[in-house]
Amino acid sequence: KQEVTQIPAALSVPEGENLVLNCSFTDSAIYNLQWFRQDPGKGLTSLLLIQSSQREQTSGRLNASLDKSSGRSTLYIAASQPGDSATYLCAVYDGNKLVFGAGTILRVKS
Amino acid sequence: NAGVTQTPKFQVLKTGQSMTLQCAQDMNHEYMSWYRQDPGMGLRLIHYSVGAGITDQGEVPNGYNVSRSTTEDFPLRLLSAAPSQTSVYFCASSQDTEAFFGQGTRLTVV
């Protein structure tokens, strides 16, 4: 059974810092991996989708990497801003089914 | 193009009541699914459908029923609500292993 773990569970950083969120999964036979952002009481916003044949994806200040062989993905946020404060969820695809991690709660202090 | 639409956004039920959470998508996706999100646990798969007339159970199906009479709609039914079903419910539709989520239904069972 696929299990997804996100570390750390919570992170508090000063504005301007670069930071890395970690995601690990137990079964390397995944299709795609997707990072989401969730603001309190809101829905899921897709940040980056990494297809199984890719090693990374970039969007603005965000960069996500994927290493299937080691069962790891990282989300790198450059020059963090208070507006980046949210919960970040990692999910791996088992076919079209998603298996989610519990998320990392990020707080960026101004 | 509305994407995935869920109704209602909020609902309070008494124990033992029944209700249906609605989900509709206008992207002609074959795959649709329901997840619940509880604090600290990420999202867990309840039921999914790979096309009209076909449904199957996910990780936490007990207490929920689904049907898929059309490609567009995938309602989730609670036949006899229990306090343990207090949660936030998300519907998703997928194509080629990329998921799109609705904004969620926050359900409280008292």
Q: What is the pLDDT of residues B59-84, one digit of tens each?
A: 999 999 999 999 999 999 999 999 99
CB contact under 8 A, A34 and B99: yes
DSSP string for residues in chain B? ---EEEE-SEEEE-TT--EEEEEEESS--SEEEEEEE-TTS-EEEEEEEEETTEEEE-SS-TTEEE--SSSSB--EEESS--GGG-EEEEEEEESSS-EEE---EEEEE-
What Rg value do the Cα atoms of chain A yield, rounded? 13
The pLDDT assigned to A30 comes to 84
Beta bridge partners of B49: B32
Q: Which amino acid is it at A50?
A: I
Q: Is pLDDT above 90 for B95? A: no
Which residues of chain A fall short of a pLDDT of 70?
none
Q: Is B74 on the interface with A (CB under 8 A)?
A: no
The pLDDT assigned to A70 comes to 94
Q: Encode pLDDT of B78-89 as tens digits.
A: 999 999 999 999
CB contact under 8 A, B104 and A103: no
CB contact under 8 A, A98 and B99: yes
Confidence of residue B96 (pLDDT cuts 50, 70, 90): confident
The pLDDT assigned to B97 comes to 77
Confidence of residue B98 (pLDDT cuts 50, 70, 90): confident
Q: Is A21 on the interface with B (CB under 8 A)?
A: no
Residue numbers in A near B94 (CB within 8 A)? 96
Mean of pLDDT over chain B: 95
Q: Encode pLDDT of B33-44 as tens digits.
A: 999 999 878 899
Q: Extract the tokens encoding A51.
A: 């297809």
The pLDDT assigned to B1 comes to 62
Residue A87 CA to residue B88 CA, distance in Å, equals 15
A61: which DSSP letter? Answer: T
Mean pLDDT of B42-47: 95
Residue B68 CA to residue A5 CA, distance in Å, equals 32
Q: Is B69 on the interface with A (CB under 8 A)?
A: no
Q: Is B32 on the interface with A (CB under 8 A)?
A: no
Beta-carbon contacts below 8 Å between A and B: 55
